[in-house]
Amino acid sequence: MIGNEIILGLVAFGVVFLSAGLMLALSILRAKNPPSFRSLPAFDRLRRAVGRVVEDGSRLHVSLGRGGLVTPQGASALAGLSILRRLADLTSAGDKPPIATSGDAALALLSQATLQEAAENSGQLDYDPSAGRLTGLTPFSYAAGAIPPIRDENVSATVLMGNFGIEAALITDVANRSNTFSLASSDNLAAQAVMYATAQETLIGEELFAAGAYADSGPFHASSLTVQDILRWLAIAVMLGGALLKAAGIL
């Protein structure tokens, strides 16, 4: 039992080390040769929505979910913060800075830091600390708190990116009723199901983590996407091999 734990730990460490090496190498290569991604309609529409935000002087709302940074859902929260930073840069030419709502306190603080940094980089001196908000500590209170900005603060695009549950349907539904564009993604399967039914565009599965690469956030994002593909094929091979070995009675 202990031996298996050690073996599993070593395998996991090897995977992490391999991934890190690949990412580092590919990021250097990608810096010279930017990759081309398959078309995702959700990101195409997000680009248009961001352009419309800048054009008509409306506001972008990014909801980061409730993924705590010390939880497994923290990865989706970090992905949301990454896309928040990129979108804040893109909309810095607009009249109004984006709003970030979150259901985790630490995530709210990080969203404030992200928006402040984006504002400083774009030369905006009047950064509003209330742009990064904690709207609730329970899923439905968070969703209820994220709804008023969509309705009251001239939001024309809502991006849900992070860890959400089924309560995300309330947010996307209000976005639809307010005739605002909604792009939703979550690492939660139940949330993905309701998002598929309620949001205008949905990212399924690991597409959430590809958002940074599609938003041109840098070579590391592109290389991390390539690493994901490599690891996915590796996982497929391992599963198929394990199934064959199991069927053969070896395992």
Partner 1 sequence: MKLKGLFSTAVAVLCGLVVLAGYFVRLDILVNASNTLITWAILLTAFAILLGIINLLIVHVGKITRKQKGGFYSIILIFAMLATFAIGLLAPHFPPASPAFDFAFRAVQLPVEASLMALLAVTLTYASIRLPRRRLSVFSVIFIITGLLVLLGTAPLPFLGDTPLVSDTLRPTIAQVLAASGARGILIGVALGALATGLRVLFGADRPYGGK
Partner 2 sequence: MADVHCPMCGKPNPEEQDSCQFCGARLKPLTGATPVDSQPIRAGEKPTKRPTSEFEKVKPADEGPIHAGEEPTRKNTGELERSLPSWLKSLRKGEEPPQAESPADASPDLNLPAESQPTPSAESSAESLDWLAGLGSAAAEDEEEVPDWMAGLRGASAPGLEPEAPTPAEPEQAQPEQDWMSRLGGEAGQPPADSPEQTVESAPDWLSRLSQEAEKPQPAETAEAPAGEPQEEPAAPEENLPDWLDALKSKSTVSEEPSPGSGNDLPDWLSGTPVAPAETDAAAAPVFTSEPPPARDAPTEVPDWLSQLQSDVRAASDAEEQAEEFEPAAGPFPADKSGEPIPDWLSRVDQTAPPAASAPALVMSDEGESPVEPSQAAFSLETPDWLSKLRPDRSAETQGSPEEEAEPENLETADLPSWVQAMRPVESVISETGPSAPDDAGATEDSGPLAGLRGVLPSNPGLGTMRKPPAYAIKLQVSDNQQRYAAHLEKMVLEEGRARGLTPARLTSNRVWRWIISIILIAAVLLPLVSGRQFTPDMKLLPSEWSNTSTVLNEFPADAPILLVFDYDPALSGELEASAAPVIDHVLFLGARLGLVSTAPTGPALAEQFLESTQPYHLETGLQYTNLGYLAGGPAGILSFATDPVAAARLTVDGDPAWETTALQGVSKLSDFAAVIILTDNADNGRIWIEQTRAFIGETPILMIISAQAEPMIRPYDDSGQIQGMVTGLVGGKTYEQSYAAPGLARRYWDSFGLGALAAEIMIAVGGVLGAIMAWRARKQAGEEA
Query: Which residue ranges make up the site for partner 2 (CB under 8 A)?
Result: 5, 68, 70-73, 137-140, 163, 165-167, 177, 179, 188-190
Interface stretch with partner 1, choices 31-39, 44-52, 54-62, 102-110 (CB under 8 A): 102-110
Q: For residue 110, how many other CB atoms are within 10 A of its CB?
A: 21
Choice between 55 and 241, CB closer to partner 1: 241
Interface stretch with partner 1, choices 28-36, 44-52, 54-62, 110-118 (CB under 8 A): 110-118
Which of positions 26-55 make contact with partner 1 (CB under 8 A)?
27
Choice between 22 and 193, CB closer to partner 2: 193
Determine contact, residues 215/86, Cβ cutoff 8 Å: yes
Choice between 10 and 55, CB closer to partner 1: 10
Verify binding: residue 18, partner 1, rule CB under 8 A: no
| Distance, CA of 116 to chain centre | 19
Q: Which of 94, 98, 132, 162 binds partner 1 (CB under 8 A)?
A: 132
Residue 177 binding: pick among partner 2, partner 1, none (C-beta 5-8 Å cut-off by kind): partner 2
b/e string for 158-192 if b means 16 or more Cβ within 10 A? bbbbbbbbbbbbbbbbbbeeeebbbbbbbbbeebb
Q: For residue 62, how many other CB atoms are within 10 A of its CB?
A: 29
Q: For residue 99, how many other CB atoms are within 10 A of its CB?
A: 23
Interface stretch with partner 1, choices 32-40, 44-52, 53-61, 147-155 (CB under 8 A): 147-155
| Total of chain residues touching partner 1, rule CB under 8 A | 81
Interface stretch with partner 1, choices 30-38, 48-56, 90-98, 199-207 (CB under 8 A): 199-207
Choice between 78 and 222, CB closer to partner 2: 78
Which of positions 56-85 make contact with partner 1 (CB under 8 A)?
68-70, 72, 75-76, 78-79, 81-82, 85
Q: For residue 8, how many other CB atoms are within 10 A of its CB?
A: 10
Residue in the block written with tokens 């309330």: 170
Residue 186: helix, strand or coil by DSSP? strand
Verify binding: residue 198, partner 1, rule CB under 8 A: yes
Interface stretch with partner 1, choices 45-53, 55-63, 162-170, 240-248 (CB under 8 A): 162-170
Q: Return all residues near 120 (Cβ < 8 A) that are at least 6 apart.
A: 127
Query: What is the distance between the alpha carbons of residues 45 and 187, in angstroms, rounded to a whole number?
Result: 21
Determine contact, residues 158/46, Cβ cutoff 8 Å: no
